[in-house]
Amino acid sequence: MYLVVGGGTAGLVIASRLADVASVGVIEAGGFYEQDNGNYNIVPFGSLQMPLAYSAEDYPKQPLVDWDLFSIPQTNAGNRRIHYAQGKTLGGSSALNALSYHRATSGTYQKWAEAVGDESFTFENLLPYYQKSCHLTPPDLEKRNSTSATVVYDPAAFDNSIVGPLQVSWNNWVDPTTDALAHAVQSVGLPVSPVGFSSGYLSGHGAWVPSTIEPKQAVRSSSRSSFLEEAIKNTDIMVHAHTSSSEDSIRFRFAEKSKCSPGINFRI
């Protein structure tokens, strides 16, 4: 029996994988964003109306899906506290981000591998797991409304033979401001990335990176609508939404000087 505390972006991936071979429960402080916040989380454009898009302290609060966190006063921002959006819902921040999909550089993963002394964390060794997690739908160039919005990506960075649950695609409508931004950065000498931003290289600009959008219905693909949805259909995973717990309710085996936790107390 495994208990995953926090049904966020990573928590639901872990829970989904474990549920294939074991009994798994998920504890989440939030609920199902489709019920709690509707189209603000489901329709891609809704991300611009989400807590993510507001940095001021008096932003429109959405307590059912956001933790309402703030930074300390920032000297270079007029001593303002900056709102730091963090998903309080099944799917975590993948349920309220701006949907852009890209991966870090090969050098970043190499630093990670060196820091922990484990070559499993290099980009080359992690790539199969990225490929396992998603399914790429190429852009529909006939529907995209801009002749200059040519998409560049590396098909080898994806493997659709696996049919991962997370949907990655391109929207059929191109925001004119994005088009103008692409022309602006190219005019100052920053070329379009030759391979996109999923192959371990982030050189050049990528105004048209793919998004976590389910292309048939054009709705958000989050860890809830992808990994958890798949687990609910195919396994006996149990989800405990709208639960509460505190830091001191996590039980540790102090007598054994172990870093393992045998359980947690929580309230439904």
* Three-class SS state of 19: helix
Q: Is the pLDDT of residue 245 over 80?
A: no
Q: What's the alpha-carbon Rg for the chain, to the nearest Å?
A: 20
Closest of 173, 97, 163 to residue 136, by C-alpha:
163
| 57 or 133: which leads in pLDDT | 133
According to DSSP, the residues that pair with 95 across neighbouring strands are none
CB count in 10 Å sphere of residue 112:
16
Q: Which band of pLDDT confidence, cut at 50, 70 and 90, is reported for residue 247?
A: low
* Three-class SS state of 218: coil
The DSSP element (H or E) to which 213 belongs, if any, is: strand 213-214
Residue 48 contacts residue 217 (beta carbons within 8 Å): no
Q: What is the pLDDT of residues 87-116, one digit of tens each?
A: 999 999 999 998 999 999 999 999 999 999
- Least confident among 46-60, 64-78, 158-172: 46-60
Mean pLDDT taken over the chain? 88
Closest of 98, 60, 56 to residue 80, by C-alpha:
56
Give the start-to-end residue ranges of the domains of the chain: 2-54+88-98+224-264, 106-211
Closest of 218, 217, 224, 199 to residue 209, by C-alpha:
199
Sign of the C-alpha dihedral computed for residues 6, 11, 16 and 19 taken in this order: negative
Sign of the C-alpha dihedral computed for residues 224, 84, 49 and 133 taken in this order: negative
- CATH fold, domain 2-54+88-98+224-264, is FAD/NAD(P)-binding domain (3.50.50)
Report, in this order, helix, strand and coil percent for the chain, each rounded to 5: 35, 15, 50
